[in-house]
Chains A and B, each alone.
Chain A
Amino acid sequence: MAKTVKLLSENFGKIRPDSLEDYLNAGGFEALKKAFTMKPLDIIEEVKKSKLMGRGGAGYPTGSKWEQLYRIEKFPKYIVCNADEGEPGTFKDKLILNYDPMKLIEGMIIAGYVFNSNHGYIYIRGEYPDSQNIMQTAADVLEKTGYLGENILGSDFSFHLHVRTGAGAYVCGENSTLLNSLEGKAGRPRKKPPHLAEVGLFELPTLVNNVESLANIPYIVLNGGDKYASFGTEASGGTKLVCLSGNVVNRGVYEVRFGTTLREIIYELGGGVPNGRKLKLVQIGGSSGPCFDETLLDTPLCYDATWKNGITVGSGALLVVDDSNCVVDFVKCITEFFVHESCGKCTLCREGNKQLLKIINKFTEGTASEKDFDAIRRISDAMTNGAFCGLGETASRALTTCLEYFKDEFEEHINGKCRAGVCSFEKGGE
């Protein structure tokens, strides 16, 4: 039986988010006190040992990211927390922001100490106004009690936290875009290189980490990287907050050890598919993530095992789709999302998504032909290889992976048949 663990989620619902007393009673700020007795490089070493991989979706080793920024000898440096959580089906960072904001702040202060950075920014999406208020309240409490601001805990280290809002743009979850938005600009991505570690916020060296990544730092500092790593697998240290959504009985966020299989998560924790329906497909990592069928359900949640099977851990979103849904209609929904969210900066993403949607509409309207498969391949290849940022690179992934697993259903649509009875074939078909 798959089990959840309470390593990161330990305080959820147990402490009041605005109560320093509650947080201290739960062991809060012990990690910060310990960090102040350690050398920055030793802290980075623990983060490396922890095998913590970036929890926003890219899965880049956090320790390596920290080491790169540490070696850059330009100051000031900035700490930025990416709380844009816009990937559909992802709602885990919200729990950290709402239920344990001080842990995230503690992680950010530790990062600030490591890089001798005095300013941290937390960019919270505009759709989470409650989370913004909770974070701001927590920050105010900590400022008043000496955990934020000048000379933290009587040390000579100072750290100021700024809570900032987004205003509804998925692309701002991309780190360079997020920094532009933080600077008060429209959310368009930057050319990389230079990397954000060198030229980041206000063109200064910057660390950008996801909420879940930073919130894991206090545990790693307090208990050691090895201890954290021991919760996971050889390649993926620790635990992951997974978000179960879609056609599944127990939707919600679960903290699991890396190595738990997708089947265990969906069937044992999630209770499987409701209403006697059958599982048709799973999309992992949000709308930019790949889709697959039940043949991959025994894949363990783990960065290398998922990559081996052509999928990804991504943000930890698991969207379960049952057989009452039409796969073409499903990718239409995803592609409409990307048409809306493309920032328009690069042609491949702006036009590519529009053209893909046109072709998908041909399938749902009953006017598609075999030639359209080639067009999809050409457009998606161009986008994947040539788009300016991660949004355009991954926007067609749901479509191409659905074609891999469910091409027969697309072919049925050419012949005017939708087995789920969802598509109307307004312009042709039967």
Chain B
Amino acid sequence: MMEKIRAQEVYGIINKHNKSKEQILSILLEIQEASGRNYVPEECAQIVAQELGLSLSKVYDVLTFYAMFSLKPRGKYILEICKSAPCHVNGSKNVRDMFEKELGISIGETTEDNMFTLQYSSCFGACDIAPAVKIGGKVYGNLNEQKVKEIVDLYRKEGQ
């Protein structure tokens, strides 16, 4: 089911990238962002396949290969906790526990109000402020209980 994204918007994104096969990553990432629920609905994947002249399986080859894509609806905000070694030795496990407690969900889950999805990420280059979390394009580091609370509060307010 299409949540917020309209077919027209999908065609717009594809045309902006000149229906270029080589730009499929940009196209799918933009569709995902426009979906409002951080995923690529099947109807959109079908439009992409048709417009780029690719088989649907090729589109899914890409969608299922890259970690940034989701086939299932996720929260409005994706909280990505880095679990690579530099964050690990700076206590990323504790950060995961703090977010789980604050949001009342486990890693990999989405809050009931569909506001937040909590998931792991590979290193996103914030090692100088580890342990770190990435939300959309924003990165927050040197996390502790207080900061985790503040971040969740901030996005809760913004998402209302």
Contacts and interface: CB of A to CB of B under 8 A. Distances in A.
A9 interface: no
Contacts of B136: 129
Contacts, number: 133
Interface string A83-120: 00111111100100000000000000000000000000
Interface stretch (A19-27, A180-188, A224-232, A364-372): A180-188
Given A127-B124, A167-B67, A253-B128, A184 B89 contact: no
A169 B85 contact: no
A169 B67 contact: yes
B66 A128 contact: no
B89 A325 contact: yes
Interface stretch (A32-40, A60-68, A241-249, A388-396): A241-249
Given A321-B89, A340-B122, A252 B128 contact: yes
A127 B134 contact: yes
B108 interface: no
B127 A89 contact: yes
B99 to A, nearest CB: 18
Interface stretch (A45-53, A299-307, A330-338, A410-418): A330-338
B85 A167 contact: no
A126 B68 contact: yes
B137 interface: yes
Contacts of B85: 88-89, 246, 283, 287, 319, 330, 333-334, 337
B140 interface: no
Interface string B76-107: 00000001111011100000000000000000
Contacts of B127: 88-91, 243, 245-246, 251, 317, 319
Given A184-B25, A321-B89, 10 more contacts: A88-B122, A91-B125, A126-B66, A182-B22, A184-B20, A247-B89, A252-B128, A287-B85, A330-B89, A333-B88
Interface of A: 85-91, 94, 126-130, 164-170, 181-187, 243-247, 251-253, 283, 287, 317, 319, 321-322, 325, 330, 333-334, 336-337, 340-341, 343
Interface of B: 20-26, 28-29, 61-62, 65-69, 83-86, 88-90, 121-130, 134, 136-137
Give 6 closest A-B pairs by Cβ, nearest first.
Answer: A168-B67, A245-B127, A167-B66, A88-B84, A88-B123, A168-B68
